[in-house]
């Protein structure tokens, strides 16, 4: 399973203000479902990721774990129309889900007078 996110910050060991124990790059993401997460970026694409990019994150479960734990790794950077379409589609699904849940909550509320 994969989820799109929008890069809001890049945490690189070469940046001023960051002292790192390794050479890995992480990004803070605003996810399509309004979560904010910080994830590792695959080394092959770490130097190419930019703020505002739409990225695809690997949520598949880690192998050999007793409970399913998502990998939480950025594996692709989407650009142009493909990025816009992906982001828009997921956001529309999220908005529809929120509207449906709000309607269900309102229907469950009873009037006590």
Residue 93 lies in a domain: yes
Query: pLDDT tens digits, residue range 1-14?
Result: 899 999 999 999 99
Contacts of 90 (CB under 8 A, 6+ apart): 3, 4, 32, 33
Domain that holds residue 13: 2-106
Q: Is the pTM of this model over 0.75?
A: yes
Q: Is 113 within a domain? A: no
What pLDDT is attached to residue 110? 59
Is 67 domain-assigned?
Answer: yes
Q: Residue 82: inside a domain, yes or no?
A: yes
Ranges of the chain whose pLDDT falls below 70: 104-113
111 lies in a domain? no
CA–CA separation, 57 vs 12, rounded Å? 18
Question: Which residues, other chains included, contact 62 with Cβ-Cβ below 8 Å and sequence gap of 6+?
Answer: 68, 69, 70, 71
For 29, residues 6+ apart whose C-beta sits below 8 A from its C-beta are 5, 6, 7, 8, 36, 37, 38, 39, 55, 57, 74
**pLDDT for 15:** 92
Structural domain count, the chain: 1
Written as six digits, the tokens of 7 are 């890069």
The predicted structure's pLDDT at residue 109: 62
pLDDT of residue 9: 97
Say what the pLDDT of residue 47 is. 95
Residue 112 lies in a domain: no
Residue 33 located in a structural domain:
yes
Which has the closest alpha carbon to 59: 42, 78, 75?
75
CATH number at residue 57: 2.40.50.140
Residue 10 within any structural domain of the chain: yes
């Amino acid at each position: 399973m994969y989820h799109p996110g929008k890069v809001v910050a890049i945490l690189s060991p070469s940046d001023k203000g960051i002292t790192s124990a390794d050479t890995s790059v992480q990004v803070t993401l605003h996810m399509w479902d309004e979560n904010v997460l910080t994830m590792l970026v695959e080394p092959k694409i770490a130097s190419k990721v930019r703020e505002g990019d739409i990225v695809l994150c690997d949520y598949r479960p880690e192998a050999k774990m007793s409970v399913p734990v998502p990998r939480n790794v950025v594996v692709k950077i989407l650009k142009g129309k493909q990025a816009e379409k992906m982001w828009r589609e997921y956001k529309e699904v999220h908005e529809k889900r929120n509207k449906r849940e709000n309607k269900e909550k309102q229907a469950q509320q009873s009037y006590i007078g």
